[in-house]
Amino acid sequence: MTLAYQTLERTWDVIVAGGGTAGAMAGIAAARAGASVLIVEAQGSLGGTGTNAWVTPLMRNVSGGQNLNRGLTDELKRRLHSRGDGATDPHGNDNWFNPEGLKFVLEQMLLEAGGEVLYHTHVVKPLMAGGEGQTAANHDQQTTTHIQALIVHNKGGLQSLRASTFIDATGDADVAALAGVPFHAGDEDGLHQAMSLRFTLAGVDAPRLMAFLQEHGQAQENPAFLHFWMVWGRKSSLEPLFRQAVQGSVLLERDGDYFQAFSVPGRPGELSFNCPRIRADLNDGADPWQLSAAQTDGRAAIERLTAFCRQFLPGCEAAFVGVVAPMVGVRETRRIVGEYTLSVEDILDCRKFPDSICRNHYPVDIHSVKGGAKLLHERDGEAAYFARDAYHELPFRCLVPQGVGNLLVPGRAASSTFEAQSSIRVQQNCHTMGEAAGIAAAWAAKNHAGNVRAVDVSALQAEMRRLGGLV
């Protein structure tokens, strides 16, 4: 199908599709590396899942007591902390943050670096060099095709935006898939990890709630850093309350499949919930109908969970819904086939790579729609990965899609198996992947006519180290 669109006169060195967790960092890094940068973002703010899906806090990615994601992540934390939107708990965990504050910080970092953003704009499809029929599918690993422009849709209608290098940070590999890059999606049965619609409850009396949680076997140290949870069959002390609530028709059975809440810095008396989990048959976040139905399903569950908290958790009697995340939280959809595909064996064996751009020690963490949450692999205990100071590396090749020469794909859609993706997908790794992709894309645009395979990866590693990174 040929689309009628308007071609903008302007052209950029780098266009980033999706200004989310990885994309915002990619845009900032590319702009700091001297490129002209445009981020095209569907929502009205940067940060993606970390802001608009309200996913907080950052999961810890630590080895031997040291944070593995540094560079831009460190700067982000410093900025969040300095404005009261980030905090370090009594255990030294500096990953607590306020998603609304993160929106401001990311936007400031991008604009200060000279980058631009076009909000409320959806990427529709890439325009390939050589015309409609030219996609990655026509090419083998030795030859590649190029993206010339992205067709986007916004209040101005359809427009085409040109650049030398593109970064697909949509999380769903929207650009890569439409460019013909091969991809995998879901597990061996094609089922994806569960989606969640996150929300907050405000008006919580945190000290009272803390006292109650402590009496009920969920240790807490400070009302500013509450964390409590319940998953059926996982020995949570809150399980009897959930059972009572199900028997009293306050909750449905499936509301106890995953329940978890955290405090939020800068928002006293407010809790962020890592739930409700969306109905199991709605698990494909790249299917617009399922995504829409997930919003409806999640909102109904939020009503039930709010009623539960008010009725069963002292300190929550007067609580009210503060935020329902504008974006459904999507854990996994398409994963590109890149020049290297990270496997769970790479993770468990702590594999190191000559083109490493990121270190990871976050566990395999599958929120399966087949039931329960799988946090660790069955090789738990034997594998090198479970040593306290262990980590594996993520190669740059995981961001390089097969068949397209001027595209990088950082974030949760990077090239990995279903199990491996569940480990590398946490936000701080997405930051680091974004940072690497941004610098590489800028260099590719400036020096190699957009060709990301021509980038000197040892120079990229040296640059990331100079900027504080551990690679």
Ligand X SMILES: Cc1cc2nc3c(=O)[nH]c(=O)nc-3n(C[C@H](O)[C@H](O)[C@H](O)COP(=O)(O)OP(=O)(O)OC[C@H]3O[C@@H](n4cnc5c(N)ncnc54)[C@H](O)[C@@H]3O)c2cc1C
Can you give the binding site for ligand X, defined by CB under 6 A?
17-23, 40-43, 48-50, 53, 55, 58-59, 122-123, 169-172, 174, 196, 198, 274, 329-331, 411-412, 425-427, 430
C-alpha distance across the termini of the chain, in Å = 44
d(CA 454, CA 448): 6
Q: Which is nearer to ligand X, 20 or 223 (CB)?
A: 20
> Shortest distance, CB of residue 260 to ligand X, whole angstroms?
9
Strands (DSSP E) found in 191-254:
199-202, 227-230
Q: Which is nearer to ligand X, 212 or 464 (CB)?
A: 464
**Runs of H (alpha helix) within 33-145:** 72-82, 99-112
d(CA 14, CA 399): 16
> Shortest distance, CB of residue 150 to ligand X, whole angstroms?
9
Residue type, 128: M
Structure tokens at 235: 């020995």
d(CA 250, CA 261): 18
Helix (H, G, I), strand (E, B) or coil at 164: strand
Q: Which is nearer to ligand X, 19 or 322 (CB)?
A: 19
**Runs of H (alpha helix) within 313-351:** 344-348
> Shortest distance, CB of residue 304 to ligand X, whole angstroms?
18
> Shortest distance, CB of residue 427 to ligand X, whole angstroms?
3
> Shortest distance, CB of residue 104 to ligand X, whole angstroms?
15
Q: Which is nearer to ligand X, 397 or 412 (CB)?
A: 412
> Shortest distance, CB of residue 360 to ligand X, whole angstroms?
12
Q: Which is nearer to ligand X, 229 or 446 (CB)?
A: 229
Which whole-number Å values give the CA distances from 340 to 139, 399, 429, in the listed order? 17, 8, 17
Closest by CA to 422, choosing from 375, 364, 340, is 364
The residue count for the chain:
471
d(CA 291, CA 296): 9
Residues 81, 87 contacting (CB under 8 angstroms): yes
> Shortest distance, CB of residue 198 to ligand X, whole angstroms?
6
Residues 122, 16 contacting (CB under 8 angstroms): no
d(CA 305, CA 167): 38
Q: Which is nearer to ligand X, 18 or 395 (CB)?
A: 18
Q: Which is nearer to ligand X, 49 or 67 (CB)?
A: 49
Q: Which is nearer to ligand X, 144 or 428 (CB)?
A: 428
Q: Closest CB to ligand X belongs to which residue?
A: 20
Q: Which is nearer to ligand X, 17 or 62 (CB)?
A: 17
d(CA 188, CA 410): 23
> Shortest distance, CB of residue 178 to ligand X, whole angstroms?
9
Beta bridge partners of 128: 147
d(CA 238, CA 66): 32
> Shortest distance, CB of residue 51 to ligand X, whole angstroms?
8
